């Protein structure tokens, strides 16, 4: 997996970069550890997978066009030369170069025998293809079910002919500083690597997102361990290894894992909804300093101070919260400081009515509040579920082809005879197998697998059916504008 420095310049000199699970401690815990973890490792090893991805990235032209004075006699010559060179290269991008295909490695683990796999979002972000490589040497293509950028988690699904070995989540809230843990992953491509360490700290905020609550460990995690499991000594997953602090990718023994309490809730929603539906109450909060605590007669600094309400219709406003209230408990959970409240509220099911305990003018009061869904997530969900007449979609993309139903405008644009029926190709991905087969914009797909198609949905349905039947290619009957037809077998991968 390529180095990702999401927290560049987060520390003062010497400059330290918080890299996404890319480093390992140079030394193990000095105290005596467990006599052996072999039995636990044997039980869980086959559930840990190596995640490999590939993607196309744009390449830059190695030889730039020379800068010539305006009016130079060579100006037209070089302009024409590079223009022709770009056309010969296929016109791929502004630089006239074919994109490069790059690969990366990470880790993951199976949580369900039917094939659900958990990993980090940054492991599979922007990937064109994702594969899960198992301990027995098998390799399965993975489908992305859903992702959550705020916690850097992703859920994948593979299809296996037999039930897979799976692991279960443990209770990260029960882990104490000093408890032994075990990490298994794919550091530097060395799959099935096991390391042992301890929980070094809890509730770490590394400024990676609004819900930071990391477990810190000195168990060796290196480049490629991203997305791998952190186990307790019973073989339950209590964290997902995600980030490290390192001066320059070296090893200093400070790694971070998303606790299972967070992972379990996020993955459950991704599995059910393919998205995360977080709770929201509509308050602006701030830290309770010692001075504020004294002025509000709190005794000691605790809770989250309500600085204001988002609007008069927010759940907080409806419940009667006011600026100056200090929230000390939400749904039975203590709010120790301002960082606790967003996490607790986000993990609360949307629509649930809960008790919220506040300190108001030195006295404790309990209010009822109904949790709503975060507004930005509501907007995203609405955009996804927009009806065709609300948000017209002119074309669909299948097999690297952008296609559309034939309309009068398209028939005129591509000069299609009235007798030509099917689905018109409006554009072709230059890097697709369809482009290699010579398919072009303006051609019409008449049949797929010897069955007629008249709409993009028909094309997608036929392609899906062929994939389900394990076909390697789709046989397309292609027509030009004059009605002349020919077959083209386009690979499905």
Taking only the tens place, the pLDDT of each residue in 305-345 is: 998 888 888 999 999 998 889 999 999 999 998 888 998 99
Residue 6 falls inside a structural domain: no
Q: What is the CATH number of the domain that holds 457?
A: 2.30.42.10
Q: Which domain holds residue 316?
A: 280-376
Q: How confident is the model at residue 79 (pLDDT cuts 50, 70, 90)?
A: low
Distance, CA of 288 to CA of 279 (rounded, Å):
23
Q: How confident is the model at residue 191 (pLDDT cuts 50, 70, 90)?
A: confident
Residue 360's CB: how many other CB atoms inside 10 A? 16
Beta bridge partners of 185: 193
Residue 115 falls inside a structural domain: no
Which of 318, 343, 376 delimits the end of a domain? Answer: 376
Confirm or deny that 226 is annotated as ligand binding: yes
Residues 287 and 263 in one domain: no
Which of 273, 295, 317 delimits the end of a domain? Answer: 273
pLDDT of residue 25: 38
Confirm or deny that 255 is annotated as ligand binding: no
pLDDT of residue 482: 87
Residue 111 falls inside a structural domain: no
Q: Is the pLDDT of residue 376 over 70?
A: no
Residues 353 and 408 in one domain: no
Which of 332, 347, 376 delimits the end of a domain? Answer: 376
Q: What is the pLDDT of residues 152-180, one digit of tens each?
A: 999 999 999 899 999 999 999 999 999 99
Residue 20, CA distances (Å) to 3, 74, 222, 296 in order: 7, 50, 10, 41
Confirm or deny that 225 is annotated as ligand binding: yes
Q: How confident is the model at residue 143 (pLDDT cuts 50, 70, 90)?
A: very high
Residues 265 and 286 in one domain: no
Distance, CA of 323 to CA of 88 (rounded, Å):
66
Distance, CA of 393 to CA of 428 (rounded, Å):
17
Distance, CA of 489 to CA of 472 (rounded, Å):
9
Residue 134 falls inside a structural domain: no
What is residue 400's three-state secondary structure?
Answer: coil
Average pLDDT over residues 384-413: 69
Confirm or deny that 121 is annotated as ligand binding: no
Residues 401 and 255 in one domain: no
Residues 263 and 289 in one domain: no
Q: How confident is the model at residue 435 (pLDDT cuts 50, 70, 90)?
A: confident
Q: To which H or E segment does residue 124 belong? A: helix 121-124
Residues 208 and 185 in one domain: yes
Number of domains, the chain: 3
Active site amino acids = 122, 152, 226
Residue 352, CA distances (Å) to 424, 435, 466 in order: 49, 52, 44
Residues 414 and 355 in one domain: no
Distance, CA of 227 to CA of 240 (rounded, Å):
6
Out of 1-15, 83-97, 135-149, 396-410, give the one with best mean pLDDT: 135-149
Average pLDDT over residues 101-111: 84
């Amino acid at each position: 997996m390529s180095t990702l420095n999401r927290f560049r310049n987060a520390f003062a000199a010497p400059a330290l970069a918080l890299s996404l699970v890319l480093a390992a401690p140079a030394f193990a815990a000095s105290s005596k550890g467990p006599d052996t973890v072999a039995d636990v490792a044997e039980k869980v090893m086959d559930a840990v997978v190596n995640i490999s991805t590939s993607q196309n990235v744009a390449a830059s032209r190695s030889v730039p066009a020379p800068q010539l004075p305006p009016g130079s006699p060579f100006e037209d010559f070089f302009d024409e030369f590079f223009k022709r060179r770009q056309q010969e290269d296929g016109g791929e991008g502004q630089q006239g170069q074919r994109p490069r295909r790059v690969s990366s490695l990470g880790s993951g683990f199976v949580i369900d025998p039917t094939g659900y796999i958990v990993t980090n979002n940054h492991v599979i972000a922007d990937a064109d293809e994702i594969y899960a490589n198992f301990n027995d040497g098998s390799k399965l293509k993975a489908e992305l079910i859903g992702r959550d950028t705020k916690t850097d988690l992703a859920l994948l699904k593979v299809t296996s002919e037999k039930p897979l070995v799976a692991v279960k989540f443990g209770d990260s809230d029960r882990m104490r500083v000093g408890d032994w843990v075990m990490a298994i992953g794919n550091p530097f491509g060395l799959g099935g690597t096991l390391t042992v360490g301890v929980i070094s700290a809890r509730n770490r905020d590394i400024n990676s997102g609004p819900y930071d609550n990391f477990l810190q460990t000195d168990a060796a995690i290196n480049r490629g361990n991203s997305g791998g499991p952190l186990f307790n000594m019973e073989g339950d997953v209590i964290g997902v290894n995600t980030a490290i602090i390192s001066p320059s990718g070296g090893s200093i023994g400070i790694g971070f894992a998303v606790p299972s309490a967070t992972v379990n809730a996020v993955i459950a929603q991704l599995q059910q909804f393919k998205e995360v539906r977080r709770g929201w109450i509509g308050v602006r909060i701030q830290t309770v300093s010692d001075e504020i605590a004294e002025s509000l007669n709190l005794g000691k600094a605790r809770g989250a101070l309500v600085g204001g309400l988002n609007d008069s219709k927010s759940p907080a406003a409806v419940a009667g919260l006011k600026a100056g209230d200090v929230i000390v408990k939400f749904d039975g959970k203590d709010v120790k400081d301002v960082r606790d409240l967003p996490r607790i509220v986000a993990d609360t099911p949307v629509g649930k009515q809960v008790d919220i305990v506040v300190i108001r003018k030195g006295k404790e009061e309990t209010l009822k509040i109904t949790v709503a869904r975060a507004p930005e997530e509501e907007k995203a969900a609405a955009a996804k579920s927009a009806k065709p007449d609300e948000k017209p979609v002119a074309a669909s993309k299948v097999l690297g082809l952008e296609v559309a139903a034939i309309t009068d405008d398209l028939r005129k644009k591509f000069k299609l005879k009235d007798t030509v029926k099917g689905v018109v190709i409006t554009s072709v991905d230059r890097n697709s197998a369809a482009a290699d087969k010579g398919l072009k914009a303006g051609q019409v797909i008449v049949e797929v697998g010897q069955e007629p198609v008249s709409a993009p949905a028909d094309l997608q349905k036929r392609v899906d059916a062929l994939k389900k039947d394990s076909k390697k290619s789709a046989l397309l009957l292609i027509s030009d504008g004059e009605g002349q037809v020919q077959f083209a077998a386009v690979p499905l991968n």
